[in-house]
Chain A
Amino acid sequence: MTVPDPVLWGALAAIGAMAVATYLCRISGVVLMGFIPLTPHVRRGLAALPGSIVVATVLPLIERLGFAAALALLAAIGSMVLRRSELLALIVGMGVISGLRALGW
């Protein structure tokens, strides 16, 4: 027996499948870690995880986006070191990238 193709509701089924897949991603890290005992090793690994996620996300993106993007991110980090304000860091970073792109970088 074969299930008929989802002709009428195909788009909604596709959206539903995406929603389920994404929700499973959202909860599974928390659920899985519930089964792993928090030994000192695991604790240290978890402590290193947020920064590692940030660097692993951003570095390849910079490499793709180019030198101007790298300068913009460095400027944002610099602003964050001087003044702990995400808003200012965003303004500085976007100012730098808009300026550089306007100059044709």
Chain B
Amino acid sequence: MSSLQEPSRKTAGPILTWHGAVQGARSALVLIPGLVVFAVAFGAAASAKGLSLLETVMMSAFVYAGVSQLVAIELWRPEWSWGAIAGLAVVTATVNARLVLQGASLQPWLAPYPKLVNALHLFFFTDANWLIGTRYHAEGGRDLGVLFGAGFIIWINWILATIPGYLLGSLVADPRRYGIDLVMPIFFASMLVPLWRGRSAAVPWIVAGIVALVTAKLVEGYAFIIVGALSGALVGAFRDDRA
């Protein structure tokens, strides 16, 4: 595949190159081992709950959102009513609602691209390539290929690693022991360093953290991410010192 669109001479135009996609895929490589273990754990849980291999792989391929897939396995049932399906969709949307905010934060970058291009690459949009793309954009990068490449390589590995997990199932050792459950939290936390813009700019983060902690105590589920992050953004929006 050659570049979908040559980088324009003027820096203002939207850029999307094969080179950027390779760069994005490279930056995602550090996450692959942890991701594989997570996918294997999902495959094992799905086979234990009685899903077929095809159903398990389809879920990884089309839903492609690890935490919501594990939650769905918890709620999985042998027979489905439309009500149960609608309920599962609502739970899935709640768990993945953070993607709405993550997408919103990238909108100024994505806005100049054709709607169809955004509709396609956003299928691969997930925590990891949001983090990689956010860091890349914060450091002045503008090539959309980076976001897409990182998302795509993670998607492929996520699907592939689901299969041995399903087949080997109970042979999988406890991932907690090797700290696999901390891969994404560590990746999230280390992203604060490149995002750091001085103490004053960190005030919204502190508000976001406190509100999220309180919300997590009061409300079940994953609402704390949305409530905390929105509080931080609001504080950021209405602080009167220079942006």
| Chain A residues within CB distance 8 Å of chain B | 3, 5-7, 10-30, 32-34, 38, 40-65, 69, 72-73, 76-77, 79-81, 84, 86-87, 89-90, 93-94, 97-98, 101
Q: A44-B237, A62-B185, A80-B190 are in contact. Are A18 and B107 (CB under 8 A)?
A: no
User: Are B185 and A48 neighbours in the complex by a CB distance under 8 Å?
Assistant: no
Interface residues of A: mostly helix, strand, loop or mixed? Answer: helix
- Contact residues of B between 81 and 115, Cβ < 8 Å to A: 81-82, 84-86, 88-90, 92-93, 96-108, 110-111
6 extra A-B contacts, CB within 8 A, seeds A14-B88, A55-B208, A56-B231: A19-B63, A26-B122, A51-B232, A52-B233, A55-B232, A64-B216
What distance in Å separates the Cβ of B98 from its nearest Cβ neighbour in chain A? 7
User: Are A3 and B82 neighbours in the complex by a CB distance under 8 Å?
Assistant: yes
CA distance A7 to B119 in the complex (A): 32
With both beta carbons as reference points, the residue of chain A lying nearest to B182 in the complex is identified as A97
Partner of A51 from B122, B178, B192 at Cβ < 8 Å? B192
User: Are A18 and B92 neighbours in the complex by a CB distance under 8 Å?
Assistant: yes
CA distance A27 to B100 in the complex (A): 7
User: Are B103 and A29 neighbours in the complex by a CB distance under 8 Å?
Assistant: yes
| Chain B residues within CB distance 8 Å of chain A | 27, 30-31, 34, 51-52, 55, 58-59, 62-65, 68-69, 72, 76, 79-82, 84-86, 88-90, 92-93, 96-108, 110-111, 118-119, 122-123, 125, 131, 134, 138, 176-183, 185-195, 201-202, 204-209, 211-213, 215-216, 224-239, 243
A-B contact pairs, 29 of them (CB 8 A): A10-B79, A11-B80, A12-B55, A14-B76, A16-B62, A18-B59, A22-B92, A25-B97, A28-B100, A29-B101, A33-B104, A43-B108, A46-B105, A46-B233, A51-B192, A52-B205, A53-B232, A56-B208, A56-B229, A59-B212, A59-B213, A59-B228, A60-B212, A60-B213, A65-B182, A90-B183, A90-B187, A90-B190, A94-B182
What distance in Å separates the Cβ of B191 from its nearest Cβ neighbour in chain A? 6
What distance in Å separates the Cβ of A53 from its nearest Cβ neighbour in chain B? 4
